[in-house]
Amino acid sequence: MNVIEAIETRRAVKHYDANHQMSEEEVQQILSMALLSPTAFNIQNWRFVQVKDPALRKQIRAVAWDQAQVTDASLLLVLCADLKAWDKDAARYWREAPTEVQDFIVPAIDQYYRGRDSVQRDEAMRSCGIAAQTLMLAARALGYDSCPMDGFDYDAVGKLINLPQDHAVAMFVVIGKGVKPAWPRGGQLCLDEVVIQNKF
């Protein structure tokens, strides 16, 4: 499946075959694709909590409006943002770059983020959103369905997964074998309404 087809056929599917298991190779391939997602300064501030424990999944479902896809999809990923990734040995993000690039970029990371909590959070959330789309398109390319989710109690989920203090839950992505198609598209806005030329 090419990228355009994956984009056109990706839908937020809510119903999954609870008995279907993805192979470990498929899961690793999808997660590896997510690692290629872009992040500002290459700080790779997303963290993917793969929830495998069925009991924990049931607990998460209970605080996610009892949405069946939390337990029925083959893969439940809680996308979390490491808000302090910029301050955790930033040189490692550029270890393979030429020395002159490292000498410029690594100090710039500190200058850009230090003391700017809202920037740290905004960047991390943007990164998680981009990674989520990568996950969903990779899943679609392998013939799987997916659903991005934000209908849950963020604090409760954070407690259930032992979220570190310097992290924030961004969203869920579930992936699996859909058993019921998504509803028809509700109605896309036309390009003329959403594309602005130069200025509003």
The domain ranges of the chain are 3-194
At 39-75, the pLDDT tens digits run 999 999 999 999 999 999 999 999 999 999 999 999 9
CB–CB of 95/61 below 8 Å?
A: no
Residue 90 has pLDDT above 90, yes or no: yes
What is the architecture, at CATH level 2, of domain 3-194?
Answer: 3-Layer(aba) Sandwich (3.40)
Closest CA to 78 of 59, 60, 58, 54: 60
Contact 169, 47 (CB under 8 A): no
pTM for the predicted model, two decimal places = 0.94
d(CA 46, CA 85) in angstroms, rounded, equals 9
Q: Is 44 left (phi over 0), alpha (psi -120 to 50) or beta?
A: left
pLDDT category at 101 given cuts 50, 70, 90 is very high
Kindly state the percentage of the chain with pLDDT values over 70.
100
